[in-house]
Amino acid sequence: MSKEVKVWKCEKCEGHYYIKAAADNCCKEKSEPAKETCRACGCEVDNYQLICQTCLDHERFSKAKKVKYSEYSEYEVGYLWDENQDKYFSDKDELEEKYKQDAYEEELSFDPKVIPTWCYGYTERTFEIDIDRAIESALEDMYEDFDDITDKQELRDFIKAWNAKQTGKSYESDYGIVVMLNE
């Protein structure tokens, strides 16, 4: 069985929308982005951003815990996250070598000043299932006030034991830790 559906079409790109306002604004938004300003310095930023990258970096740096490189190797994971390279490094030597390699590949003389004086730390994330979130997600598909779950605590205990057996890990930059490389 089929049903007729009314849609709106953008006159410029011919994209189809169920809502007339979306069709009216389709190419208007693309060609005329809204002018947004950074909440910190007032410079122009891309649509839907609240802060420019420079101010975000400054804000993250000022709020982060500062750790000396010599002390960081015993802290958490020990990896360094370099925003400029968009890459993590196992230590300071590997980071410096990457900057030297980049200069060589671009046939430039190496300038030690390009090496950052600090990097963000790295944190480890263990693979695990959040059973309460999974139950909550499943409950969203049920009728309102549904609470006919049998042996919920048994499921929690099983998942807790299962999570404890997991050895898989991933790593991600930790913007709350700044590693001072020259200290």
* Residue 131 pLDDT exceeds 90: yes
Question: Which of 64 and 18 is assigned the larger pLDDT?
Answer: 64
Q: Where are the domains of the chain?
A: 1-32, 34-63
Tell me the H-state helices in 76-151. 92-105, 131-139
Chain segment 136-164, per-residue pLDDT in tens: 898 888 888 888 888 999 999 999 999 99
Strand 80-82 and strand 8-9: the pairing is unpaired
CB 95 within 8 A of CB 115: yes
* Residue 33 pLDDT exceeds 70: no
Percent of the chain with pLDDT over 90: 39
How far is residue 67's CA from residue 79's CA, in Å, rounded to a whole number?
13
Closest CA to 175 of 65, 90, 77: 65
* Residue 31 pLDDT exceeds 60: no
